[in-house]
């Protein structure tokens, strides 16, 4: 049986919502536990499907993993296995982040390639070329990315694009390499800083986290640590955009508002009053949102993961918005679903032009990935009637207690089974 959401539009969102740990951080922190023998504890873990899936990947590598409430305890053996097979990794791409730690710990890694993705092709060439510069051989063999190294040594690595995943894999391999590694044009996302902090708590010597240049002095051994995951800025911003779209008043807690500087500025441009708070921010939108242009870019640019929500906002804004997607080539596929909801949107290559309409019109729609799914639910909140959002397992992979949180803000949403 699969499930779908019924979202009834027309309500203003009001109240407070607490966000959990960042999905895009917790999975890498769990992988980092492979780097030290013993028990690593990660706290503030979000209650999303990808966390138990990652736990299964680590169990397959010989770790013991206990999940309780928002805490995960990972006990890594002296000699982890080095082969993450297809059954373990097929359900989510982030599992590829075990590659770097395995090369560092076992000097050999075989990680099955998770396959295609709705948002565009996601090659691993930068991950591989970085590992090669550290002294590993790396090939794609029989559907797996294989990396082997007799000796990992420091290197100067310049990424052609600040890829989040490549930065993380190279960083996690370099912490146990001999000598100094410099990663130039590194990704600067807050989740990278979180990983650098945890690695340093484990005894690594990483500096420059949050800048474009990471410098790593390799050490011989890391020790387990206990680390709290940063709040999920994408989930937080999803609620912020929802507040703006529904002309609501929402206080979001559990996140560092500085991680959302540009996003909150865009909400201000749309006419929202945005107040930074110690543990989050508040968004109040009194009038119909105004059109805003967005161009996705690596951090600190506008996050590609919020592009579907930005399109939702543009769809009901006063005026015409131009949205440019610079990170994932096929991420506009979901715009077809927005058109089904009555959005006046056209795409051409990596540009979308959206002329806002006062209200969308409910329809059955299908989520193609986590963020597209959330964008469609937001659109359902400003559509007349009841929108059916299908393939919601995507949303469950990234948004903890989605229905409860949305209802807590006054949204009308129901989860129903489909035979
Ligand atoms: C991560 C996030 C994802 C977010 C993305 C960009 C996780 C689990 N996922 O994905 O939610 O949307 O960052 O902020 O953290 N690329 C290559 N070769 C490579 C690696 C990447 O060409 O070796 C390209 C990709 O195809 C894409 C771009 O670089 O077009 C950005 O990808 P990347 O930053 O690596 O994203 P992920 O780490 O996969």
Interacting residues of 35 by C-beta distance below 8 A, sequence separation 6+: 76, 101, 104, 105, 172, 175, 176, 199, 202, 222
pLDDT at 116: 52
Contact between residue 76 and residue 33 where contact means Cβ atoms under 8 Å apart: yes
Q: In ligand 1, which atom is closest to the CA atom of 234? A: 11
Q: Is 328 in the pocket of ligand 1 (CB under 6 A)?
A: yes
Give the separation between CA 113 and CA 146, rounded to whole angstroms: 10
Asked if residue 53 has its Cβ within 6 Å of ligand 1, the reply is no
Name every residue whose Cβ is closer than 8 Å to that of residue 155 and which is 6 or more positions away in sequence: 133, 134, 135, 177, 181, 182
Which residue puts its alpha carbon closest to atom 12 of ligand 1? 305
Where do the domains of the chain lie, and which CATH numbers do they carry? 2-20+231-418 (3.65.10.10), 23-228 (3.65.10.10)
> Minimal CA–CA distance to 211: which of 194, 193, 230?
193
Query: pLDDT, tens digit, for every residue of 72-97?
Result: 999 999 999 998 877 777 777 788 99
pLDDT computed for residue 13 by the predictor: 98
117 classed as catalytic: yes
Q: What is the pLDDT of residue 311?
A: 97
Cβ pair 353, 291 in contact under 8 A: no
Atom 26 of ligand 1, residue of closest alpha carbon: 122
Q: Is 164 close to ligand 1, i.e. is its CB under 6 Å away? A: yes
Cβ proximity of 367 and 373 under 8 Å: yes
Beta carbon of 123 within 6 Å of any ligand 1 atom: yes
d(CA 187, CA 376): 28
pTM here is 0.96
299 CB less than 6 Å from ligand 1?
A: no
Separation of 173 CA from ligand 1 center, angstroms?
18
Catalytic annotation, pick one of 56, 69, 85, 117: 117
Return the closest-CA partner of residue 416 out of 132, 17, 2.
2
Probe residue for ligand 1, chosen from 120, 122, 300 as the CB with the greatest number of ligand atoms within 8 Å:
122
Please work out whether the CB of residue 116 comes within 6 Å of at least one atom of ligand 1.
no
For the residues of 250-317, what is the DSSP string, one character each? EEEESS-GGGGHHHHHHHHHTT-EEEEETTEEEEE--SPPBP--EEB-STTSB-GGGHHHHHHHHHHS
Ligand 1 atom closest to Cα of residue 328 = 30
CA–centroid distance, 304 to ligand 1, in Å, is 10
Q: Region 45-66: what's the mean pLDDT? A: 95
Coil/strand/helix, residue 169: helix
Q: Are 386 and 377 in contact (CB under 8 A)?
A: no
For residue 184, the model assigns a pLDDT of 98
pLDDT digits (tens, 9 = 90+) for 240-272: 999 999 999 999 999 999 999 999 999 999 999
Report yes or no: 281 and 274 within 8 Å, Cβ to Cβ: yes
| Ligand 1 centroid, distance to 122 Cα (angstroms) | 7
| Strands annotated E in 102-194 | 108-112, 137-141, 144-148, 156-158, 180-184
Q: Could you identify the residue written with the tokens 């390799």?
A: 218
Rg (CA), the chain: 21
Q: Where are the alpha helices (DSSP H) in 115-189?
A: 125-133, 164-174
User: Which residue owns the Cα nearest ligand 1 atom 17?
Assistant: 123
- Overall average pLDDT of the 284-292 stretch: 97
Question: How far is CA 332 from its chain centroid?
Answer: 17
The three-class DSSP label of residue 98 is helix
Which is higher by pLDDT, 400 or 123? Answer: 400
Q: How much distance in Å is there from the Cα of 34 to the middle of ligand 1?
A: 22
Does ligand 1 have an atom closer than 6 angstroms to the CB of 374?
A: no
Q: Whose CA is nearest to atom 35 of ligand 1?
A: 163
Ligand 1 within 6 A of CB of 296: no
Q: Is 124 in the pocket of ligand 1 (CB under 6 A)?
A: yes
Give the tokens for residue 11. Answer: 């309500």
Residue 41: its pLDDT value, please?
Answer: 98
Q: What distance in Å separates the CA atoms of residue 209 and residue 218, rounded to the nearest whole number? A: 15
pLDDT confidence of residue 91: 73
């Amino acid at each position: 049986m699969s499930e779908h959401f019924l979202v009834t539009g027309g309500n203003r969102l009001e109240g407070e919502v607490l966000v959990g740990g960042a999905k895009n951080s917790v999975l890498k922190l769990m992988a980092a536990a492979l780097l030290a023998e013993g028990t690593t504890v990660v706290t503030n873990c979000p209650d999303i499907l990808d966390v138990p899936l990652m736990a299964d990947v680590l169990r397959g590598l010989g770790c013991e993993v206990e999940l309780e409430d928002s805490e995960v305890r990972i006990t890594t053996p002296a000699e982890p296995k080095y082969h993450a097979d297809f059954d373990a990794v097929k359900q989510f791409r982030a599992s590829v982040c075990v590659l770097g730690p395995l090369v560092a710990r076992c000097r050999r890694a075989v990680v099955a390639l998770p396959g295609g993705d709705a948002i565009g092709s996601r090659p691993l060439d930068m991950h591989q070329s970085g590992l090669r510069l550290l002294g590993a051989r790396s090939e794609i063999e029989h559907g797996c990315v294989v990396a082997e190294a007799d000796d990992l040594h420091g290197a100067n690595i310049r990424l052609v694009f600040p890829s989040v995943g490549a930065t993380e894999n190279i960083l996690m391999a370099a912490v146990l390499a001999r000598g100094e590694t410099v990663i130039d044009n590194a990704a600067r996302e807050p989740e990278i800083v979180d990983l650098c902090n945890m690695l340093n708590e484990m005894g690594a010597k990483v500096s420059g986290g949050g800048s474009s240049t990471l410098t790593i002095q390799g050490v011989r051994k890391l020790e387990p640590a206990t680390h709290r995951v940063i709040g999920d800025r994408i989930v937080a911003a999803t609620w912020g955009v929802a507040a703006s779209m529904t002309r609501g008043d929402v206080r979001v807690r559990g996140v560092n508002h500085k991680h959302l500087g540009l996003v909150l500025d865009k909400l201000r441009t749309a006419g929202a009053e945005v107040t930074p708070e110690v543990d989050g921010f508040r968004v109040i939108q009194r009038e119909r949102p105004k059109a805003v242009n967005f161009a996705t870019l690596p951090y600190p640019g506008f996050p590609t993961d919020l592009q579907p929500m930005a399109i939702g906002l543009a769809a009901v804004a006063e005026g015409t918005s131009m949205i440019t997607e610079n990170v994932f080539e096929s991420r506009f596929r979901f715009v077809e679903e927005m058109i089904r909801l009555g959005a006046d949107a056209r795409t051409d290559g990596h540009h979308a032009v959206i002329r806002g309409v006062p209200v969308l019109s409910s329809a059955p729609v299908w989520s193609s990935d986590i963020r597209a799914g959330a964008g469609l639910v937001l659109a359902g909140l400003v559509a007349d009637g009841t929108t059916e959002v299908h393939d919601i397992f995507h949303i469950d992979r990234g948004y903890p207690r989605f229905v409860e949180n949305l209802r807590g803000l006054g949204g009308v949403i129901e989860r129903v089974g489909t035979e």
